[in-house]
Amino acid sequence: MRSEQMTKGIDRAPHRALLKAIGYTDNELKRPLIGVAQSANEVIPGHVHLDKICQAVKDGIRMAGGTPMEFSTIGICDGIAMGHTGMKYSLASRELIADSVESMARAYPFDGLVLLPNCDKIVPGMIMAGARLDLPTIVVSGGPMRTGVCGGREIDLITVFEGMGKYRVGELTEAELIELENAACPGAGSCSGMFTANSMNCLTEALGIALPGNGTTLAIDAARIRLAKAGGEAIMHLVEKNITLRQILTREAFHNALAVDMAFGGSTNTSLHLPAIAHEAGVELTLQDFNEVSDKTPHICNMSPGGPDHMEDLHQAGGVAAIMKTLAQSGLLHEEALTVTGQTLKGVLADPQITVANPDTIRPLTDPYHPTGGLTVLTGNLALEGAVVKQSAVAPEMLVHQGSARVFDAEEEAYAAIIGREINPGDVIVIRYEGPQGGPGMREMLSPTAALAGIGLDKEVALLTDGRFSGGTRGAAIGHISPEAAAGGLIGLIEEGDQIRIDIPQRTLSLLVDDAEIARRRAAWQKPEAKIKKGYLARYARQVSSAARGAIME
């Protein structure tokens, strides 16, 4: 056992003495030692209950003959960090989380690892560390939040963000906005739509690194506690068989995740996180892979923010396993891929209880919402390395659009113009210097897109950025434009009034300015000073790669 490096033999008497100071017995120290990386805290609603989930995981480990050793990581809630300096730290925190889990698991040679995250950057950050470490590993998430209800209709966090826009134009009173605020997030869990956290938690099932139900079982359900105990037991089987994470995180597993992502219309942020995880696992995953899988995979779930369904609807319809079974029956998945159950995906999906219970929530492939996947990658002179859009959440009339550029060098400037009613139908809003280097940190910008939806312009105005959008964004919001402005990308040379053409069906994004004029502007362009010159973000800006590569640290 790996843990014997710190527990076995006369030379490890000092080590055992320190572990006994914690309360571990000789018998416990002879068993497989399982690290449990959890991110419980009192600042994220998706994490406030993780102490209870963690206890259930530890109970499962003990029932199966192991000794759990719990440790913590940081976590940032994108919704609470939204719209201020805090959002600069969100994506960057993914690397800190990965480094911290790696550090703990190297300092303490655990025999296995349970990753217990729940929200946006914590899920990929922990999995990235797991891929580096290549130990027997399983992911047990905290589960999604129950859907809010207000005035007899289902609502979620995005309803409140969009409600701010409605309030600004007089469509909601302050009292009505507060009523939404009080009802949208009814308790613990990751926000209830197919936003980034839930997209990534669902994709842990598709990758084969979590048990069925991990992505959709509600945070507050007793079934979540039982699932956590089962996860604790499962890690012991993985340790016994020495099935490590990289044996599961193969290229085939990542293509399964892409197919499921396209089928349920996941967050655009998966185009950052899946390549970053793949990089740590030694697998090359490019934005071109997203388009290739999207071409083959129909969009069969209409989840919030693009549609009416929430996570509990998907769970009741059969969950991620039912989506995978639907895809597998048409040969769209690699069924030989290994999973943490010890079985191949084919073996997991052979369970007769896995079935589609509601064909309106999980449609048959013959009757999809869209014939191709929920995400698509655009290229063109404005996005030589790529840009990402959730095409399933774009109104049909905005799939092809040409308009005049309205240029802003920061999110706050654009938001002020939107709520100040300075944006006209047909405009193309450009928000730049918000990329991984230029932001720094590639801020998620839900406020501008929600404001556009709130004032009724989401079907008439496009928004482009080298930053990123929330998984809760809808409309013609195109992000991750690479190369970014701070790296000399063409987005940094756009001028007010320039014509920009978007053609999502043809996957192109073009600045309609002649080459001679672009050359003149490039010759005059000067890279702006760094916005943050000290601390972690300054180091991050110097080391982070393009968003097209997953914003990994070089």
Active site residues: 470
Q: How far apart are CA 3 and CA 111, in angstroms?
A: 6
H-state helical runs in 32-89? 50-63, 78-81
Kindly calculate the radius of gyration of the chain based on its CA atoms and give it in whole angstroms. Answer: 23
Q: How far apart are CA 543 and CA 554, in angstroms?
A: 5
Dihedral angle, C-alpha 260, 263, 269, 270, nearest 10 °: 20
Phi, psi of 419 (to 5 degrees): -70, -20
Asked if 147 and 221 touch (Cβ cutoff 8 Å), the reply is: no
Please choose, from the candidates 464, 471, 502, 304, the residue with its C-alpha nearest in 3D space to the C-alpha of residue 390: 471
For the chain, give percent helix, strand, coil, nearest 5: 45, 15, 40
Q: How far apart are CA 400 and CA 384, in angstroms?
A: 19
Q: How far apart are CA 383 and CA 387, in angstroms?
A: 6
Q: How far apart are CA 440 and CA 91, in angstroms?
A: 10
The amino acid present at 514, given as its one-letter code, is D
Q: In the structure, how many helices (H) and strands (E) does the chain have? A: 22, 14
Q: How far apart are CA 229 and CA 69, in angstroms?
A: 15
Bond into 305 cis (ω within 30): yes
Q: How far apart are CA 276 and CA 547, in angstroms?
A: 10
Q: How far apart are CA 373 and CA 391, in angstroms?
A: 8
Please choose, from the candidates 537, 544, 416, the residue with its C-alpha nearest in 3D space to the C-alpha of residue 482: 544
Bond into 505 cis (ω within 30): no
Please choose, from the candidates 436, 431, 385, the residue with its C-alpha nearest in 3D space to the C-alpha of residue 545: 436
Q: How far apart are CA 138 and CA 234, in angstroms?
A: 8
DSSP state of 10: G
Phi, psi of 99 (to 5 degrees): -65, -40
- The upper half-sphere exposure of residue 510, i.e. CA atoms within 13 Å in the direction of its Cβ, equals 13
Paired residues of 500 in beta bridges: 403, 511
Residue 7 burial (10 A CB sphere; 0-12, 13-18, 19+): buried
